[in-house]
Amino acid sequence: MKKFLAGALAVCLCFTGLFLSCGEKKKNEIYVYTPDGAPALAFAYAMHGDSADDGVSYEVVNPATIESYLTYRDEEKNADICALPLNTASKLLGSGEKYQLVGTVTNGNLYLLSGGGVAYTRENLALLKGKTVGVVQLANVPGILFKMILTDLNIPYAELKNGEEAKADKVNLKAVAPDTLMPTKGIDAFVAPEPQASVKVLKTSLEFVGSLQELYGGEKGFPQAVVVAKRSLLKKNPQAVEKLVKKLVDGAQWLETAEISSICGAVSSHLTKGLTPSLTEKNLSRLAIENSSVWFTSAQARKAEINEFLAKMVAVGGAASAVDEAFFAK
């Protein structure tokens, strides 16, 4: 009986802890959430200078759970400010009713890797026909963007599912797990994001053979991870949002010279409890930081580009939506 009560108490405390971490907030505190990975790099400077009495609380969370910080029925539990992929923001928040887009923070961190040989450009990407490309997050931005590039270049592609054979006249796309270091049998190349891409190159015989940012053709990459803020916060305390934006702007320059240990420490010290950091001193390099394309651009400055990019995502069946004018913060 005592063992049962002890177990029940432990379970209760566990759920209580989860509830507190997800829902209970300090009054007037601004809660900021960012996925681990490249978006967290954008907030590293702000988190590096974080103090207990500055009125802002940062948390680096599992990328797979980022939507949950925007979709609680009790709106008080939701993030005040949140970083997330643009396509996800367009689906969840595109009306601008509850959240507005403040700006972009990452601008393309996707790369083609293979065992070497051909360096792929827009002129020769068709050489991938008949080959199989393993894509990390095929259903999300990496896969959607690669499909957009292939469509723009009139290169046919096919998604391989359930052991399907590769088509000789198409680029064959296959979903692969993010932590897969080397291509599995039958996979000729990878599409992977930084900083994972640099880890694969460091630990295997894979090499960088193409940049999806350059293949897409945008001079400044593409709008990838964005920052949104509650409309109520923008109305009630715009100065707080402006202060954070200033830190995001300054953070891009800070990343260029900051010690790797300082960057990783800023992120890891704000991780959700129990989450293993993806950015460590062993895997984060200057090249990975540069390839992550971290800088802030305001929503208004990229509005036309964002609308065009979302339209292209929708056209290839990507998980995205057109957004209303109200989605863009002034």
Q: How far apart are CA 251 and CA 271, in angstroms?
A: 18
- Full pLDDT tens readout for the chain, 330 residues: 433 334 443 433 333 333 334 446 777 899 999 999 999 999 999 999 998 778 999 999 999 999 999 999 888 899 999 999 999 999 999 999 999 999 999 999 999 999 877 999 999 999 999 999 999 999 999 999 999 999 999 999 999 988 889 999 999 999 988 777 666 678 999 999 998 899 889 888 899 999 999 999 877 789 999 999 999 999 999 999 999 999 999 999 999 999 999 999 999 999 999 999 888 998 899 999 999 999 999 999 999 999 999 999 999 999 999 999 999 999
Cα–Cα separations (whole angstroms), residue 53 to 26, 77, 153, 273, 307: 12, 20, 52, 21, 38
For the question of whether the overall pTM of this predicted structure is more than 0.85, the answer is yes
| Coarse DSSP helix, strand, coil percentages of the chain, rounded to the nearest 5 percent | 40, 20, 40
Q: How far apart are CA 245 and CA 223, in angstroms?
A: 17
Total length of the chain = 330
